[in-house]
Structure 1
Amino acid sequence: MTQKKPLVLDVDGTFLKTDLLFEAFWAGLGRAPLPTLRAAARYFSQPAKLKAELARIVTLRLDLMPVTPSVAAEVAQAKEEGREVVLASASDETQVKTLAAAHDLSERVFASDGQTNLKGEAKAQALVSVYGEKGFDYAGNEATDMAIWTHADRAYVVGEVAAVKPLPKVTELEGGWSWRGLLKAIRPHQWVKNVLLLLPLIASHRFDLDTLGPILLGIIAFSFAASSIYIINDLLDLEADRLHPKKCRRPFASGAVPIRVGMMACVVLAVSALGIAAALNWAFFGIVVLYTLTSLAYSLKLKRMRWVDIATLASLYTIRVVAGAAAGQVDVSVYMLIFIFPVFIALGCVKRLTELTLATSDERLPGRGYGRGDRSDLVNVAGLGVFGALLVFFLYTVSDQGEVLYPDTWLMWIAMIPLGWWLIRMVALGWFGKQDYDPIVFAMRDKFGLGLIMIMLSLMFWAAGLWAQWFGG
């Protein structure tokens, strides 16, 4: 009886919808940043050594890695036929062996060993030396796999690959990625947060195009900068996201978008943000740099530290307000900064409350320092934030600046009612898990909450005499 030919699978982009080298690099950045960066700098031109060193620095949860459905179907069929299914990859052999064991594949693997980067012709020679010419079928996803396909009996091509030579036996399998997935990774719906840049304009009553135009450009710059950080945050959180009931569907965690595509998009967005910022003014440029560095520190370390993460989130929102003032060259009130910081402390607590309420177990949140036992403390801190915000708002109404801008002080006191109602309602919704995971994004879609904000702003405009100025009377 003739022995059935084995099915040999490439790993990165073929069996898996991700790349183990980039997975190890980003996992290393999150857990051991300095050793990871040293390894990347030292072995950048030696891929086999780099992969071995990264595999030593960080252990990946290979059982969580997203598998390509079309390839998984071929694997299942090959097993039914009694064929050996073998992994052959340029990734490090320790990772490839672990991956093979996790998916009950052949113990025999072909992989980089720290000296030889098993890719292209090197992989072809290794396979032919064991199985012989045309003695195996091979699945791959890149043009470099042509070196192996020409020696294989049948070529399984995952996604769209520009073949440089005609192949006699080809099976095309669904794969690749879409721009729609990348757009989702950029999270344009989160850009709504950057309307905070408009607050200095509203507070100073500078409703003119010379002020509004630069602030709108500033919003674009901040949106691009934020999206670049969202990508970095997702790449650092791959394992935690895959353990999360909803975040596991994010583009990078699910493998819908390759990590290398995300890295390129991140660079383009960051450069665009800094370019727009520099074109506006250097003060705004400095604030964008500060925001980016603070966001990176948050993604790398601070978000894992209890209470520090909430203070950092509040600072990032506050920076947006300062950025609006710098973009529009508007003086920002110290009272405003003191007022909005406790507001964002409260909303930061709401974010964690929502995550804990919606969590499916009592364990601490993956990648965070909170468990369900912290819910009461989070509510207390949120309450202090609400009280602090309302107190500062009141003190502003009786300050010299407040009395000049808002002569009808009693209307400002009435405006505190919808403001307090909105804040308390946000905390309550977080406690009962009736929010999205991001309170700012939720607030922009919450019709009742938006109504309260509109009532508050209307009262403030009335107190400032703006309604009479705009419409007469």
Structure 2
Amino acid sequence: MSKRRESVYLSLKNLPSQVFVVLEAGCRWGTDFFNIMGLNMYTAPFDSGRFCIGKFRPMESSNSVLVVDLDGTLVSTDALVESGLDFLHQHPAGILRLPGWLRSGKAMLKQSLANNSSLCIEKLPYNDYVLELIRQAKQSGKRVVLATASDQAIARAVADHLGCFDEVIASDGGTNLSAARKRDALVQRFGVRGFDYIGNSSDDLLVWQASEHAILIDTPARVARAARRTANVSDEYSTQKTPLLAFLKALRPHQWAKNGLIFVPLMTAHAFSVDALGVALLAFVCFCLVASGTYLINDLLDIQDDRQHPSKCKRPFAAATLDPLTGIWSALLLVAVGVLLGVMLLPPLFVLSLIAYLVITLAYSLVLKSMMAVDVITLTVLYTLRIVAGSVAIETEPTFWILTFSLFIFLSLALVKRFAELQQARNKGETGKSAGRGYYPSDMEMVAAMGVGNGYLSILFFALYIQDAATIVLYSHPQWLWLICPVLMYWVTRLWLLTHRGEMHDDPVVFAIKDKVSLVTLLMIMAVFGAAI
């Protein structure tokens, strides 16, 4: 060792454990010298590029500290995105406040959203593999630190819930603790190579480089390759996910059956031409695209409520099998394509119906679904709006009695769904208001009475449709239509009896698609219509 280096080394040995040292950027003996001397040196360039600044401290045991990231690592989701979605769910008009928060910095945005949202910390999708790594670290006597770019309010809530962290380092409204800032904070506390780090994203590359052991969790292939080149990767874990299947599930293709109502005017008006059928098919496609977009939006806004539901917790966003950001962009694309197709190829009145459906659905997802009675009436309107859209698409007048029948039968089906939810809550001993709804388990009997009554009323209005003068002209044998009434009576009665017995576990439309008796009932009705024509 040269006398110059030896004198510097002896001087540094007598300094406090954390000191800033400024070296010329071209200094050839900078970082290597400190590592050789057993001192932990970390360097980062000034903006001018002429100097580098480092902090050194005595080496700590690489086995003494395990640092764990939160978003995408400890939990299989992004707390910022989820808190933002929950904020919009609770405060739809709050979207106007987001630009102001963002102008104050990303850290302020995170803090504001964390303080104005209600994430269900207990139900977050925790990664079992990471929890096992933490358990092993605690057993071996390591300090376990939660270091995250999420706001400190969320980070501390997670730490309090799990009860396994010795320290929490997080964004605080002023500093966004990601990438280089997180690395600097950890190096300041533990030194370079003084900790092991579990992370998942490109923001963690710099932190992995400063760690003794890099542990990769669900890391994209490109980022994983970069980590292997620049860091000491000791472990990699990938959750078995099927994003394509999760995406298809989130689109709810089984719900597209509801859009079959678009073809009802085609049948009732006997408009069986090839052109009319082509127009109806195109209208059906537009509604399916927009409907799937709104299903994505609804599920995104409902993540916190769905996680508390016995079956909805398996939905892709609630179960974290699909990234919320993917859902947001997909929803916007689906809605845009559906509306654009309508504008280009279908009558203006159809486009107005489609936009009305979109607006009402968004209002339902944001506000109306939590309002007693308003929620089921809104669902009824959305069903009936499909029939109206089918009529204007093929440019026919919607039949008054069919629209009235639709209002009452679909109100009955909407109440079936609410009754089933309340029944599940009562069976679990709950007495409070259902999550995200305006009903209590004690409302069950009233909901059932309204649902059964509306179901039978719908059959009355179908009978009035049969007797209508315009209907008699349309059919060669209109008297055959009377056979549909007892079939409907049987189906409505059976539906409500099964629901009352606790056998309705799905959306009633999904139930009808899966239920053999319902499918046979539908075939019988179609056969009677065919005979009447």
TM-score using structure 1 length: 0.93
Secondary structure of the equivalent of 1:124? helix
Cα shift readout 1:390-445 (whole Å, capped 9, x = no counterpart):
22112222221111113434322222111222222222222222223211121122
Counterpart of 2:119?
60
Number of equivalent positions: 463
Mapped contact 1:87–1:96 kept (Cα < 8 A): yes
Counterpart of 2:449?
380
Counterpart of 2:429?
361
CA drift at 1:4: 3.5
Percent sequence identity over aligned pairs: 34
Counterpart of 1:280?
345
Structure having the higher strand fraction is 2
Instruction: State which of 93, 103, 111 in structure 2 corresponds to 1:34.
Output: 93
Q: Distance in 1 between matches of 2:69 and 2:343?
A: 45
For structure 1, which segment, 431-440 or 130-139, has the greater mean C-alpha deviation from structure 2 after superposition? 431-440
Instruction: State which of 423, 426, 437 in structure 1 corresponds to 2:492.
Output: 423
CA drift at 1:355: 1.8
Cα shift readout 1:253-280 (whole Å, capped 9, x = no counterpart):
1111121111121112111211222123
Q: Distance in 2 between matches of 1:442 and 1:106?
A: 46
Secondary structure of the equivalent of 1:171? strand
Q: Distance in 2 between matches of 1:10 and 1:353?
A: 42
Counterpart amino acid of residue 430 in structure 2: D
Q: Which has the larger radius of gyration?
A: 2
Instruction: State which of 185, 195, 202 in structure 2 corresponds to 1:136.
Output: 195
Instruction: State which of 258, 261, 264 in structure 1 corresponds to 2:326.
Output: 261
Q: Distance in 1 between matches of 2:122 and 2:421?
A: 25
Secondary structure of the equivalent of 1:8? strand
Mapped contact 2:146–2:155 kept (Cα < 8 A): yes
Mapped contact 1:343–1:386 kept (Cα < 8 A): yes
Counterpart of 2:256?
191
Residue 370 (1) aligns with residue 439 (2): yes
Q: Distance in 1 between matches of 2:257 and 2:478?
A: 31
Mapped contact 1:235–1:252 kept (Cα < 8 A): yes
Q: Distance in 1 between matches of 2:375 and 2:360?
A: 11
Mapped contact 1:121–1:148 kept (Cα < 8 A): yes
Query: CA, structure 1 residues 106+213, in 2 after alignment: closer, same or farther (shift >3 Å)?
Result: same
Q: Distance in 1 between matches of 2:79 and 2:137?
A: 24
Cα shift readout 1:184-241 (whole Å, capped 9, x = no counterpart):
1122122122111111111111122211112112212111211111111112211211
Counterpart of 1:289?
355
Query: CA, structure 1 residues 279+3, in 2 after alignment: closer, same or farther (shift >3 Å)?
Result: closer
Residue 69 (1) aligns with residue 138 (2): no
Alignment of 1:341-352 (within 5 A): 341-352=407-418
Counterpart amino acid of residue 380 in structure 1: A
Counterpart amino acid of residue 485 in structure 2: M
CA drift at 1:79: 1.4
Alignment of 1:214-363 (within 5 A): 214-281=279-346, 282-359=348-425, 360-363=428-431
Mapped contact 1:39–1:50 kept (Cα < 8 A): no
Secondary structure of the equivalent of 2:146? strand
TM-score using structure 2 length: 0.83
Mapped contact 2:144–2:167 kept (Cα < 8 A): no
Q: Distance in 2 between matches of 1:230 and 1:110?
A: 36
Secondary structure of the equivalent of 2:197? strand
CA drift at 1:295: 0.7
CA drift at 1:3: 7.8
Counterpart of 1:392?
461
Instruction: State which of 432, 439, 446 in structure 1 corresponds to 2:515.
Output: 446
RMSD of Structure 2 on Structure 1 (CA): 1.8
Query: CA, structure 1 residues 288+346, in 2 after alignment: closer, same or farther (shift >3 Å)?
Result: same
Q: Distance in 2 between matches of 1:169 and 1:399?
A: 77
Gaps of at least 5 residues in structure 2 are 1-59
For structure 1, which segment, 139-148 or 123-132, has the greater mean C-alpha deviation from structure 2 after superposition? 139-148
Gaps of at least 5 residues in structure 1 are 465-473
For structure 1, which segment, 15-24 or 326-335, has the greater mean C-alpha deviation from structure 2 after superposition? 326-335
Query: CA, structure 1 residues 2+443, in 2 after alignment: closer, same or farther (shift >3 Å)?
Result: closer
Runs of 4+ in 1 over 6 A off after TM superposition: none
